[in-house]
Amino acid sequence: MRFNHVLFALFFYTGQALAHGSLHSQIQDLTKTMLREGKSAKLLVQRGRLHMEHGNNKSATQDFLLALKLDPRDRSANYYLAEQAFNQERLPEARRYAEKFLSMLKGEAGAIVRGQSLYGEILFAQGEYRAAAAAFRIAVDQAAEPSPEHYLHLADAQGKAGSTAEALASLDEGMQKLGMLNVLENKSISLNVESKAWDDALKRLDAMILRGQGLPDLYLRKARILLAAERQPSAQEAVQDGLASIDLIPAARRETPAMKQLHAELLALQSVR
């Protein structure tokens, strides 16, 4: 057993070293190119991105700022400075660079999606939820293929801004375009529960149950919602359905820690009145 751990550590740390070595080599190659051909905004941005990936934020910032000094029109430097500042929770600075990046765009959909998504995250972190929702809305509308994350960000911002109906409509839009994804349905159910729209939440849950995925977990969630709605008899029915669904699961899976925990939580709800 100890030998296996030693082998794992050897391969793991060797892999890590190779990854960092590769980045380091790329940085060195770009540095040599600039020494030979002279510095340019494009090469500095490339090296700055590698420094970011390597975790050397100080060098990354220096490269991005020098890129802007050489070419104030280099919008990508502004984007990466915004991203870097956001990751370091320097929100006013992140917002300034993001706004500069967006102001330099001329209709490029892909860049707009990236820029507005980052801008929305910055605004959300600053508590400006309505403005964040507007940014995320632009990102969704401009995206050739919006991702589930696009719709989740939009719904989060709309919900935080107090527009639950808008948030639910955005999630429904996402499900119409991307299919009935659990991650979007779960967010819709959470919003229904937060606004005490019990029947809407239960309707969504029942639709998921009919599709037969994650049944024990869904029955547990249904029982909790019914208890919150003070519908104890229906809650107990959901508990029994959940326990019965566990009995139908292959024995090996029933013995997993997660399933045992789920079983215990359902049993605990039997005593709730």
Tally the C-alpha atoms within 13 A of residue 181's C-alpha that lie toward its C-beta. 17
Count of CB atoms situated within 10 Å of the CB of 24: 14
**Cα torsion for 163, 167, 173, 177, to the nearest 10°?**
150
The whole-number pLDDT of residue 31 equals 77
**Which residues of the chain are modeled with pLDDT < 70?**
1-21, 213, 273
Q: Which long-range contacts (CB under 8 A, 24 or more apart) does 156-159 make?
A: 156/124, 157/120, 157/123, 157/124, 157/129, 157/130, 157/132, 157/133, 158/129, 158/133, 159/191, 159/194
The whole-number pLDDT of residue 13 equals 37
The CA distance from 20 to 24, in Å, is 6
The whole-number pLDDT of residue 10 equals 36
The whole-number pLDDT of residue 273 equals 67
Q: Give the pair of three-digit tokens for residue 11.
A: 């391969």
The whole-number pLDDT of residue 17 equals 39
pTM: 0.81
The whole-number pLDDT of residue 14 equals 37
The whole-number pLDDT of residue 18 equals 36
The whole-number pLDDT of residue 4 equals 44
The CA distance from 44 to 40, in Å, is 6
- Measure Cα distances from 252 to 1, 77, 78 in Å: 25, 53, 53
Which residue in 249, 178, 255, 180 sits closest to 219, CA to CA? 249
Tally the C-alpha atoms within 13 A of residue 5's C-alpha that lie toward its C-beta. 2
Residue 252 region by backbone torsions, left for phi larger than 0, else alpha for psi between -120 and 50, else beta: alpha
